[in-house]
Amino acid sequence: MTGLRLGPLLRYADGSCATVWVETSGPCTAEVRCADGARGKAGTFRVAGHHYALVPVDGLTPGTATEYEVLLDGASVWPPPDSRFPPSVIATPTDDEGMRVAFGSCRWAAPPAGGKDPVGPDALDTLSARVAADPGGARPDVLLLLGDQVYADEVSDATRHWISGRRGLDRPPGDQVADYEEYTRLYYESWLDPEVRWLLSTVPSCMIFDDHDVVDDWNTSAAWLADMRATDWWQERLLSGLMSYWVYQQLGNLSPDELAADPLYAAVRETPDGTAALREFAARADADPPSVRWSYRRDFGRTRLLMVDSRAARVLEEDRRTMLDPGEAAWLREQIMDGRGDADGPGTGDGDTDAGRGAYDHLLIGTSLPWLLPHLVHDVEAWNSAMCGGERGARWARLGERIRRGADLEHWSAFPSSFDALGDLIAEAGTGPGAPATVSVLSGDVHHAYVAEPSWPGRAPDARVAQLTCSPVHNSVPLSIRLGFRFGWSAPARALGRRIARHGRCAPPTVSWRRTGGPWFGNQIMTLTLRGRSARLRLEQARANRDGTNVLRMITDRELTQPG
């Protein structure tokens, strides 16, 4: 009998439909049946010897939460008969209820050795336990995972042992992931965690990659990419990373309508083995990045989420270096301005524009890398960009490249024109008739959490704008990171940064900002609660009790729509 290998993951969900992702042990028809009569089915597709299905579920009732089961060829496989968790549900909140958006990044999924977790309690596990303990209580309406869902370059001892059993570790990439099959091992290790498996079955999720989903510092620079392409292992690693990301993460980001219009999804499903079609797609994404868009948009009532690819969409040539290629930048602007009452760009007319109200009350820009960093870090990255671009000559350019790779200087501030362009776009989106109440840039990556708020000389957006950074969900936070980021926000560090920027002849940024919360260190989750035009932020950290249980402890709880 065909079994359930991984999942189910509840991915897309709106007022009337949803998608549920599964991996199965063989070809079959996967079916989702809801207690209220809503249902859907889909045949599996095959990639690299693995079988998957993304089941569309129609006929859901807005404002309800209905239990569901998963069947393979008519046999029930979920929930397991011995499950200690409540039944999985598909919830369809209404606009009147508002919504809760939980987010974070950087989850190293290695199981604790001997019962002791070396990096502390997993915030996602702990969130799952709290939701399961009170199924009727408050829970996230959507979970945003902002990068580093798997660590292809930092595997657990168990995975290292498994890799050594299928190939030697004496040749590159050694004990790092080498191919598609090894990527599947990472997802099993991460998503078969019982708490996480149940949480992802009952809370919709949106995902975007960051560097460790492929390799640390992925697409740092043109020189870095040339060095990687000169190795004999990089091509297989990259194609496998993109292929597995499309199967395990990207498919579930898309709505049923987008899936129906996706030629790759059709090609993979229509052939007995979709490996070649998917591999050709990944090769095209590598050779011609602007031809593939990983970014996407989701509208939740009057909240708009734009998940932005800040890794694969980069232009890396030093003389025209940008975080987003021109097509990606145009797409981002179009999505932000769509439905704005005062927008010059295309609009749908769906918003209450006659009353000066745009199509959304809250704009969420999900980008794995923070836009606003500690001032010293920002200035060092801007200086480094100038050095690598030849501002002080060839010797400084060579030194700058070494520093860039060694210190991971590749955030938005390392792309100064893109940093300013994003700031200008946010200010424009937050100003005038049709402006949302809040614009929040949601990020991770930097292994701590903080809130920073920008201001623009000579202009004051009507929207409350904030950089909200939350990382890690489950990873180590070395003392050097704690000390470095605490100092980076300080007044002496700011003065030092200005001196460094002057050496690089860096133009001052078009926006200034101040830290209004943090830095906070630990395994943590942020939640935005959005109701009408109000927004409230809550940060919680996973802590271990003396009795061995883990809890989420509130670190900060504040209104974002009131002046700080």
Across the beta sheet with 303-308, the strand order is 296-300, 303-308, 362-367, 438-443, 464-469, 449-455, 512-520
CB contact at 8 A, 378 and 211: no
Strand, helix or coil at 266?
helix
pLDDT value at position 116? 79
Return d(Cα 481, Cα 345) in angstroms, integer.
42
What the block records as the tokens of 204 is: 């919709």
What the block records as the tokens of 492 is: 């002496």
pLDDT value at position 221? 98
* Per-run averaged pLDDT (10 residues), the chain, 564 residues: 97 95 98 96 98 97 94 98 96 81 94 78 97 93 97 95 94 97 98 97 98 97 98 98 98 96 97 98 98 97 97 97 98 94 43 62 98 98 98 97 96 98 97 95 97 95 97 92 92 96 96 97 97 96 91 96 61
- From the number of C-beta atoms within 10 Å of its C-beta (0-12, 13-18, 19+), residue 556 rates as middle
pLDDT value at position 341? 60
